Amino acid sequence: MAWREEENALVQDFEFTDFARAMVFVNEIAKLAEAVGHHPDILVHDWNQVKLTLSTHSAGAITDADRSLADRIDKL
């Protein structure tokens, strides 16, 4: 899947085989976000799906920090 632009944010949906794998992914994202100091909005829904939204609220737009984090997430 690819990141898409929605309302000044990068968004991507992920689907996993079970809840436990979705939670492992969320925890990996949390560690990465803490390391780079840029935090996505994370929505866990339907027991195995995760929606990530990257946006720099202070800029009101997608920034290099968002694109950089998206690239790093893609490499997980």
The predicted structure's pLDDT at residue 76: 87
Q: Beta strand pairing status for 4-5 and 10-15?
A: antiparallel
Question: What domain range includes position 57?
Answer: 4-74
Contact 29, 18 (CB under 8 A): no
Report the pLDDT value the prediction gives residue 57, as an integer from 0 to 100.
85
Domain count, the chain: 1
- Share above pLDDT 70 across residues of the chain, in percent, rounded to a whole number: 99
Single pTM value for the model: 0.93
Residue 49 belongs to a domain with what CATH number? 3.30.1360.20
Question: Taking a C-beta distance cutoff of 8 angstroms, is the pair 3, 70 a contact?
Answer: yes
The pLDDT assigned to 51 comes to 98
CA torsion through residues 30, 33, 34, 35, sign: positive
Tokens, residue 61: 């737009």
The per-residue pLDDT for range 26-48, each reduced to its tens digit, is: 999 999 999 999 999 999 999 99
Average per-residue pLDDT for the chain: 96
- Asked if 18 and 63 touch (Cβ cutoff 8 Å), the reply is no
